[in-house]
Amino acid sequence: MKRLTKKLMAGTFAIGLALVSATGAASADSSEPIKIPIKNWSSQIVMAHVIGGMFESMGNNVEYVPVDNQASFEAVRVGDITILQEVWQSTMQNAYYNAMEKGGLIDAGTHAAETLEEMGVPNWVIEQGLCPGLPSWEALKDCSAAFATPDSGGKGRWLEGPQSWHGEVMPNRIKGLGLDDTWTVKFAGGADALWTELEAAKKEGRGTVIFNWTPNFTDASGFTFIEFPEYYDGCRIADGGTMDTTGCGSPKGWLKKGAFWKFPKTHPNAYRAFSQLSFTTPQIGSMAALVDVDKMTHEDAAKKWLADNEDVWKPWATSVLGEGN
Amino acid sequence: MPSYLKSSKAIQFGVLFIAFFLLNALIGPSESNYLWRLPPLLKDIPFLINDLVRGLMFEWMPIDVYDPSIDEYEQKPLFREITRAISSSFSFVINAVREFILGGSKTIVAFSSWDFIKENPWAVWPALPWTVVVGWAMVLGYKLQGRNLAFLTGVAGLYIAAFGQWSPSMQTLSFILIAAPVSVFLGLALGVFAYKSKAVEAFLNPLLNVAQTMPHYSYLVPIIVLFGVGDHAAALVTILFATPSMVRLVLLGLKNVPTDVVDAGRMSGCNDFQMLFRVLIPTAKRDVLIGVNQVVMQCLSMTVIAAFIGAQGLGSNLLIALNSLRIGTGLEIGICIVLIAVVFDKMSLAWANKQTDYFADLSFTKRYRHFLIMAAILVGGIVMAMIGSIIFEEDFNYFYIVPHNKGLTTAPFWQAGVDWVWDTFFYTLKSFNEWLITGVLVPMRDAYLAMPVVATFLLVMGTAYILAGLRSALIVGGFLLFIAFSEYWDRALITMYMATFAVVVSGIIGITLGAACAQNTFASKAVLLFCDFLQTFPSFIYLIPVIMLFGITDTSVLIASLAFASVPATRFTVEGLRSVPPVLQDAGSMCGVSRLQRLISIEIPIAFPHIMLGVNQTVNFALMMVIIGAFIGTIDLGQLILKAISEPQGTGIGITLGVCVAFIGLAVDQIIRTWANKRKLALGLN
Is A23 within 8 Å of B228 when comparing Cβ atoms?
no
Cα angle A109, A114, A117; round to 5:
115
What confidence category does residue A26 fall into, taking pLDDT thresholds of 50, 70 and 90?
very low
pLDDT of residue A325: 41
Q: How far is CA A142 from CA A126, A131, A147, A156, A246, in A?
A: 14, 8, 11, 10, 21
Residue B516 lies in a domain: yes
What confidence category does residue A19 fall into, taking pLDDT thresholds of 50, 70 and 90?
very low
What confidence category does residue A20 fall into, taking pLDDT thresholds of 50, 70 and 90?
very low
Q: In terms of domains, do B318 and B386 share one?
A: no
Radius of gyration of chain B (CA): 28
Report whether pLDDT(A18) > 50: no
A266 chain-B contacts, CB cut-off 8 A: 69-70
pLDDT of residue A196: 86
Chain centroid to CA B268: 41
Is B68 within 8 Å of A23 when comparing Cβ atoms?
yes
Pick B309's closest partner by Cβ from A67, A186, A188. Answer: A67
A45 chain-B contacts, CB cut-off 8 A: 320
Residue B69 lies in a domain: yes
Spatial separation of the C-alpha atoms in residues B245 and B223, rounded to whole Å: 20
ipTM, 2 dp = 0.80
What confidence category does residue B395 fall into, taking pLDDT thresholds of 50, 70 and 90?
low
First to last CA, chain B: 32
Hey, of A29, A67, A291, which one would you mutate to test binding to chain B, going by the most B CBs within 10 A of its CB? A67
| Other residues' Cβ atoms within 10 Å of the Cβ of residue A57 | 16
Spatial separation of the C-alpha atoms in residues B562 and B432, rounded to whole Å: 16
Q: In terms of domains, do B203 and B239 share one?
A: yes
The segment with the largest mean pLDDT, out of A11-15, B152-156, B579-583, is B152-156
Is A266 within 8 Å of B69 when comparing Cβ atoms?
yes
Q: In terms of domains, do B90 and B207 share one?
A: no
Spatial separation of the C-alpha atoms in residues B296 and B337, rounded to whole Å: 12
Q: Counting every residue, how long is chain A?
A: 325
Interval A272-285: pLDDT, tens: 999 999 999 888 88
Residue B273, classified by CB atoms within 10 Å of its CB into exposed (0-12), middle (13-18) or buried (19+), is exposed
- The number of domains in chain B is 4
Cα nearest neighbour of B647 on chain A:
A95
**Average pLDDT of the segment spanning B183-206:** 91
**Average pLDDT of the segment spanning A299-320:** 88
Note if the bond before A135 is cis, omega within 30 degrees.
yes
DSSP string, B138-181: HHHHHHHT-HHHHHHHHHHHHHHHHTT-HHHHHHHHHHHHHHHH
Which CATH number belongs to the domain containing residue B572 in this structure? 1.10.3720
Report whether pLDDT(B621) > 80: yes
Interval A76-118: pLDDT, tens: 988 889 999 999 887 788 789 888 988 889 999 999 988 888 9
For residues A225 and A120, is the Cβ–Cβ distance under 8 A? yes
Report whether pLDDT(B410) > 80: no
Cα nearest neighbour of B220 on chain A:
A71
How would you classify residue A240: left for phi > 0, otherwise alpha for psi between -120 and 50, otherwise beta? Answer: left
Between B326 and B474, residue with greater pLDDT: B474
Q: Counting every residue, how long is chain B?
A: 686
**What residues contact residue A295 under an 8 Å CB cut-off, 6+ apart?**
none
Last residue of a domain, one of B87, B119, B151: B119
Q: Where are the alpha helices (DSSP H) in B368-488?
A: 369-391, 411-435, 442-449, 453-468, 470-485
**Average pLDDT of the segment spanning B45-59:** 81
β partners of residue A62: A34
CB contacts under 8 A, A 165-194 vs B, are: 186-193
Q: In terms of domains, do B345 and B374 share one?
A: no
A311 touches chain B (CB under 8 A): no
pLDDT of residue B1: 46
Identity of the amino acid at B283: T
Report whether pLDDT(A121) > 80: yes
Residue B406, classified by CB atoms within 10 Å of its CB into exposed (0-12), middle (13-18) or buried (19+), is middle
Interval A142-176: pLDDT, tens: 888 889 888 888 899 999 988 877 778 899 999 99
Secondary structure letter of residue A133 according to DSSP: T
Q: In terms of domains, do B424 and B292 share one?
A: no
Report whether pLDDT(A2) > 50: no
Hey, of B51, B79, B89, which one would you mutate to test binding to chain A, going by the most A CBs within 10 A of its CB? B89
Chain centroid to CA B202: 24
Spatial separation of the C-alpha atoms in residues B631 and A193, rounded to whole Å: 8
DSSP 3-state assignment of B72? strand
Q: How far is CA A283 from CA A84, A275, B553, B578, in A?
A: 18, 17, 37, 64
Identity of the amino acid at B363: S
**Best CA proximity match to B301, nearest among B517, B546, B567:** B567
Radius of gyration of chain A (CA): 23
Name the percent of chain B in helix, strand, coil, to the closest 5: 80, 0, 20
**Percent of chain B having pLDDT more than 70?**
94
The side-by-side arrangement of strands in the sheet containing A156-160 is A183-187, A156-160, A209-214, A116-122, A223-225
Cα angle B256, B258, B259; round to 5:
125
**Best CA proximity match to B558, nearest among B504, B613, B599, B485:** B504
Hey, of B324, B433, B440, which one would you mutate to test binding to chain A, going by the most A CBs within 10 A of its CB? B324
DSSP 3-state assignment of B67? strand
Interval B142-160: pLDDT, tens: 888 888 999 999 999 988 8
- B411-435 and A191-204 are packed helices; what angle lies between their axes, rounded to 10 degrees? 80
Pick B552's closest partner by Cβ from A20, A197, A199. Answer: A197
DSSP string, A140-155: GGG-GGGGB-GGGTTS
For residues A204 and A124, is the Cβ–Cβ distance under 8 A? no
Element (H, E) at B622: helix B604-628
Residue B15 lies in a domain: no
pLDDT of residue A22: 40
Report whether pLDDT(B576) > 90: no
Between B37 and A42, residue with greater pLDDT: B37
Q: Where are the alpha helices (DSSP H) in A103-206?
A: 123-127, 163-166, 169-176, 191-204
For CA atoms B152, B158, B164, B168, give the dihedral sign. positive
A186 chain-B contacts, CB cut-off 8 A: 552, 633
Which CATH number belongs to the domain containing residue B186 in this structure? 1.10.3720.10
**Best CA proximity match to B558, nearest among B633, B640, B485, B654:** B633
Note if the bond before A215 is cis, omega within 30 degrees.
yes
Pick A266's closest partner by Cβ from B70, B225, B422. Answer: B70
Residue B472 lies in a domain: no
Name the CATH superfamily, with its identifier, for domain A29-113+253-324.
Answer: Periplasmic binding protein-like II (3.40.190.10)
Is B69 within 8 Å of A200 when comparing Cβ atoms?
no
**Average pLDDT of the segment spanning B422-437:** 86
What confidence category does residue A319 fall into, taking pLDDT thresholds of 50, 70 and 90?
low
pLDDT of residue A34: 93
Backbone angles phi, psi at A97, to 5 degrees: -75, -30
Report whether pLDDT(A120) > 90: yes
Q: In terms of domains, do B259 and B314 share one?
A: yes
Q: In terms of domains, do B382 and B499 share one?
A: no
Secondary structure letter of residue B279 according to DSSP: I
Residue ranges of chain A assigned to CATH 3.40.190.10: 29-113+253-324
Residue B627 lies in a domain: yes
Hey, of A69, A72, A74, which one would you mutate to test binding to chain B, going by the most B CBs within 10 A of its CB? A74
Pick A41's closest partner by Cβ from B110, B230, B323. Answer: B323
The segment with the largest mean pLDDT, out of A1-10, B373-382, B452-461, is B452-461
**Percent of chain A having pLDDT more than 70?**
90
Q: In terms of domains, do B142 and B113 share one?
A: no
Is B69 within 8 Å of A13 when comparing Cβ atoms?
no
What confidence category does residue B649 fall into, taking pLDDT thresholds of 50, 70 and 90?
confident
Q: Where are the alpha helices (DSSP H) in B27-146?
A: 45-58, 78-102, 106-111, 114-119, 130-144
Secondary structure letter of residue B114 according to DSSP: H
A186 CA: distance to closest CA in chain B (Å) = 8
**Best CA proximity match to B545, nearest among A216, A199, A205:** A199
Q: In terms of domains, do B75 and B205 share one?
A: no
A294 touches chain B (CB under 8 A): no
Interval B358-380: pLDDT, tens: 666 666 666 677 778 878 888 88
Residue B78 lies in a domain: yes
Residue B436 lies in a domain: yes
pLDDT of residue A110: 93
For residues A312 and A278, is the Cβ–Cβ distance under 8 A? no
**What residues contact residue B48 under an 8 Å CB cut-off, 6+ apart?**
B652
Pick B639's closest partner by Cβ from A71, A150, A163. Answer: A163
pLDDT of residue B365: 67
Residue B674 lies in a domain: yes
B639 chain-A contacts, CB cut-off 8 A: 162-163, 187, 189
Backbone angles phi, psi at B76, to 5 degrees: -130, 135
Q: In terms of domains, do B493 and B399 share one?
A: no
Q: Where are the alpha helices (DSSP H) in chain A?
A: 2-21, 42-57, 69-77, 89-102, 123-127, 163-166, 169-176, 191-204, 263-266, 268-276, 281-292, 298-308, 310-324
Expressed as residue numbers, the domain containing B240 is: 166-354
Q: In terms of domains, do B659 and B621 share one?
A: yes
Spatial separation of the C-alpha atoms in residues A130 and B619, rounded to whole Å: 43
Q: How far is CA B590 from CA A269, B505, B596, B678, in A?
A: 89, 36, 14, 29
pLDDT of residue B403: 67
Pick A23's closest partner by Cβ from B69, B89, B316. Answer: B69
Pick B229's closest partner by Cβ from A5, A71, A189. Answer: A71
Spatial separation of the C-alpha atoms in residues B518 and B523, rounded to whole Å: 7
**Best CA proximity match to B497, nearest among B540, B545, B440:** B440
Q: In terms of domains, do B443 and B564 share one?
A: yes
Report whether pLDDT(A21) > 70: no
Is A23 within 8 Å of B117 when comparing Cβ atoms?
no
CATH number for domain A116-239, candidates 3.40.190.100, 3.40.640.10, 3.30.465.10, 3.30.70.940: 3.40.190.100
Strands (E), B604-677: none
Cα nearest neighbour of A72 on chain B:
B229
Mean pLDDT for chain B? 85
| Other residues' Cβ atoms within 10 Å of the Cβ of residue B449 | 13
pLDDT of residue B360: 60
Cα nearest neighbour of A188 on chain B:
B633
Backbone angles phi, psi at B67, to 5 degrees: -110, 105
Report whether pLDDT(A213) > 90: no
Cα nearest neighbour of B88 on chain A:
A16
Pick B553's closest partner by Cβ from A40, A70, A151. Answer: A151
Report whether pLDDT(B424) > 70: yes
**Best CA proximity match to B549, nearest among B427, B435, B440, B416:** B427
Report strand pairing: B72-77 vs A156-160. unpaired
A22 touches chain B (CB under 8 A): yes
- B166-196 and B147-162 are packed helices; what angle lies between their axes, rounded to 10 degrees? 130
pLDDT of residue A24: 37
**What residues contact residue A153 under an 8 Å CB cut-off, 6+ apart?**
A184
Is A151 within 8 Å of B316 when comparing Cβ atoms?
no
Report whether pLDDT(A3) > 80: no
- A310-324 and A298-308 are packed helices; what angle lies between their axes, rounded to 10 degrees? 80
